Amino acid sequence: MTPPLTDSPRYFEDYPEGLTATAGPVTVREEDIIAFAQRYDPQYFHIDPVAAQESPYGGLIASGWHTCAIMMRLLVENFLSPASSLGSPGIDELRWRAPVRPGDRLSVHVRVIEARPSQSKPDRGLIRSAIEVRNQRGEAVMTLTAMNLVRRRPRPETSSPAPN
């Protein structure tokens, strides 16, 4: 597993194109699937294990939004730096590729595909990353392209020599 990148402050310059990182795994528990779905996505195949047996999925599955939340937690804890993360203007191409079931172990795989300085705000840059959430069998259960605004490295303070 790739060690977390959050061990020290990182800035835009520390996210070059081609950088990869992996985080996880996190085990998805049945009670968490149900609790999340009861609150945010109460479809029967997310909240009722018995009724879910008759669904097209043949059993209980996590909400895709739950999978997104797990991915976000792993990104915040292992990829984005609290010293520089400025949020996101959005994501592209979100796809839920396979159901997430109780007991699945999810990992996040990130690859920076673009890193460009902001034209209008020179203190930051935009990083685009291809993200895959994979289960314990290596199957991609979710993919997306994320955009993150990241502060540029602060310039060192320059001090003038003291007059004699």
Strand order in the sheet with 20-27: 20-27, 105-117, 124-134, 140-151, 90-96
Amino acid at 80: L
Q: What is the mean predicted confidence (pLDDT) over 56-65?
A: 98
Cβ atoms of residues 95 and 144 within 8 Å? yes
Mean pLDDT of the region 9-28: 96
The tokens describing 56, both together, are 């097209």
pLDDT for the residue 159: 54
pLDDT at 61: 98
Q: What is the pLDDT of residues 1-16, one digit of tens each?
A: 344 555 688 999 999 9
State the average pLDDT for the chain: 93
**How high is the pLDDT of residue 155?**
81
Domains with residue ranges and CATH for the chain = 10-151 (3.10.129.10)
The pTM score is: 0.88
Q: Of all helices (H) and strands (E), which one includes residue 61?
A: none
132 vs 68: CA distance, rounded Å:
11
Give the span between the Cα atoms of 131 and 70, in whole angstroms: 13
